[in-house]
Structure 1
Amino acid sequence: MGGSRGDDLLAKAEKKASSSTGWFSSSSTKWEEAADLFQQAGNAYKVDGAWAQSGKAFEKEAGCRIKADEKNDAMNAFHNAAKSYKKVDPAAAVNALHQTIKLVLDAGNFRQAADREKEIAQIYAQDGLDIAKARDSYQRAGDWYKQEDANATANQCYQNAAELSADLGDYQRAVQLYTTVADWSLTSPLTKYSVKEYWLRAVMCSIAMGDLVLAQRNLNDFSQKDLTFPSTREAKFAKELVDACEEADVERFTAAVYQYDQVTKLDNWKTKILLHVKKALEEDEGGLT
């Protein structure tokens, strides 16, 4: 956008950043003034919808803030760059967020680092950009939230990581994550109701990885952790799935799925897992082992 306000401010910022320090001014002052101009340019480009230019201007602001030893302002500048880049360049947005996280971690603010890592996960997950990296970022964010005792938010991230792990065929990690979420959920009356769903998913992932011994052991362990679990529809459904797979009975498996779906509609994630298991059953008449 030639002749725009953003271009004018950017030129002034570049001139200030490349200027020599005078007798009556400090190097720090120069970088502060240049940073302010880059920030103004970034905002001007935002107004024009020139998102790539906006992101670059904010990144240059961040560089100046670092030279002026304004670390907090540098964090904000990198984050503003990421928000602009998100509109047009996901990879650049992720890079800017990584720069933000480095500064945030240096300051010991793990909660803010978790927020930024969660943003990275969402960018990677959007439109299936990179599911493996999304999963890893959700889990990392969950770990950092956990360190800050933000347990509810941590477990939301772990749930997302578990779901993506299953999508990647990494059922073992999905089982571990769902079990972790369930164990924490058991500790609060407000979240205890959701435990049966996580345990059902953990058993389904155990079956999907072809480990019926693990599936049965999980059912037993979960039943000991919560004595009400065996009487739930989720537990009965899980047990019926395990039994059908042990007998390599495709018809029994299909009937169990149909009956459960009549009362509790299966979501896309469960449907995908169940189709995977059914296909394995049909291909292996000896049953899953």
Structure 2
Amino acid sequence: MGASRGDSLLQQADKKASSSTGWFSSSSSKWEDAADLYQQAGNAYKVDGRWTESGKAFEREADCRLKADEKNDAMNAFYNASKSYKKTDPMAAVNALHKTIKLVTEAGNFRQAADREKDIAQIFAQDGLDIGRARDSYQRAGDWYKQEDANATANQCYQQAAELSAELGDFPTALQLYKTVADWSLTSPLTKYSVKEYFLRAVLCCLAMGDLVLAQRSLDEFAQKDVTFPSTRESKFAKELVDACDEADIERYTAAVFQYDQVTKLDNWKTNILLRVKKALEEDEGNLT
């Protein structure tokens, strides 16, 4: 690849950063000038699609901004670095985002920290890079959003964390997160319609844990929280599944799943959980015969 404008700007920035401070200039202005040149280099590399070089240039800009005590500009530079790195080096993007979060939390801006933590979660979740760390980041972002009273966004993050928890086989955490999301959803007429979905998912988590007592107790608890829930298809489906498992009746269980799917198409998440529960039923039946 031939020399680009980015290469030229990077050389100028390196020269400025390593220069000695003259009689009539301050150390601060030296770092500011170098930072401006690194920023220009980062943007020039972006134009050329040289994403890794762009990310590195923005990180060097951020370091100079910190030396010039320009923390807000350093935050932006680290964030710009993460956006460039995301194209070619996900872990470098995550590291740059962690540096951004450190600065924004020190400044007390937890809403912005939540946004960046959510970015980290999305990077880890994409293509299954690291589901465990994605879950943890979604949960942390949710906590920060909640702290800042951004409840709707917090619950979107908790929902993602719940789905990933179940994917990891951590059903107790998934159950608690779905209950948290459901409780908040009950407080608003705009979100109340979705509560039955979260209640169903919570019961499925109980079944995946093999805890029929907790499943039935959860159904009773949900009926008290929302008096309309027992009349919904979701509640009747959940109750039929609990009864089928209680009787170890695989045919009844399979029929309930088939009938529900005929009217409301099961998504991949529910399908995977239902298959897991069915497999456990089959294994129990095999142990009895």
| 1:139 partnered with 2:139 | yes
Give the distance between the partners of 2:20 and 2:210, measured in 1 at CA. Answer: 68
| 1:74 partnered with 2:74 | yes
The corresponding residue for 1:32 is 32
The corresponding residue for 2:88 is 88
- Give the partner amino acid of 1:8: S
The corresponding residue for 1:271 is 271
- Mapping 1:95-174, distance limit 5 Å: 95-174=95-174
In the TM superposition, residue 2 of structure 1 has moved relative to its aligned partner by: 4.0
Give the distance between the partners of 1:27 and 1:210, measured in 2 at CA. Answer: 65
Three-state SS of the structure 2 residue aligned to 1:219 is helix
- Give the partner amino acid of 2:275: L
Question: Number of paired residues?
Answer: 287
Give the distance between the partners of 1:194 and 1:286, measured in 2 at CA. Answer: 38
Runs of 5+ unmatched residues, structure 2: none
Give the distance between the partners of 2:3 and 2:149, measured in 1 at CA. Answer: 50
What do residues 215-242 of structure 1 show as CA deviations (whole Å, max 9, x unaligned)?
A: 1110000000011110100000000001
Three-state SS of the structure 2 residue aligned to 1:285 is helix
- Mapping 1:11-30, distance limit 5 Å: 11-30=11-30
**1:175 touches 1:206 (CA, 8 Å); kept in 2?**
yes
- Give the partner amino acid of 1:151: N
In the TM superposition, residue 286 of structure 1 has moved relative to its aligned partner by: 8.5
Once the two structures are aligned, what percentage of the paired residues are identical?
A: 83
The corresponding residue for 2:208 is 208
The corresponding residue for 1:7 is 7
| 1:227 partnered with 2:224 | no
Task: Give the alignment's Cα RMSD to 1 decimal.
Answer: 0.9
| 1:246 partnered with 2:209 | no
- Give the partner amino acid of 1:244: A
In the TM superposition, residue 285 of structure 1 has moved relative to its aligned partner by: 1.9
What do residues 149-188 of structure 1 show as CA deviations (whole Å, max 9, x unaligned)?
A: 0000000000000000000000000000000000000000
What do residues 175-219 of structure 1 show as CA deviations (whole Å, max 9, x unaligned)?
A: 000000000000000000000000000000110011111111100
TM-score (structure 1 length as normaliser): 0.98
Query: Residues 196 and 286 from structure 1, CA distance in 2 versus in 1: closer, same or farther, beyond 3 angstroms?
Result: farther
Give the distance between the partners of 2:259 and 2:266, measured in 1 at CA. Answer: 11
What do residues 40-71 of structure 1 show as CA deviations (whole Å, max 9, x unaligned)?
A: 00000000000000000000000000000000
**1:248 touches 1:286 (CA, 8 Å); kept in 2?**
no
The corresponding residue for 1:256 is 256
- Give the partner amino acid of 1:190: L
Give the distance between the partners of 1:189 and 1:113, measured in 2 at CA. Answer: 29
Three-state SS of the structure 2 residue aligned to 1:284 is helix
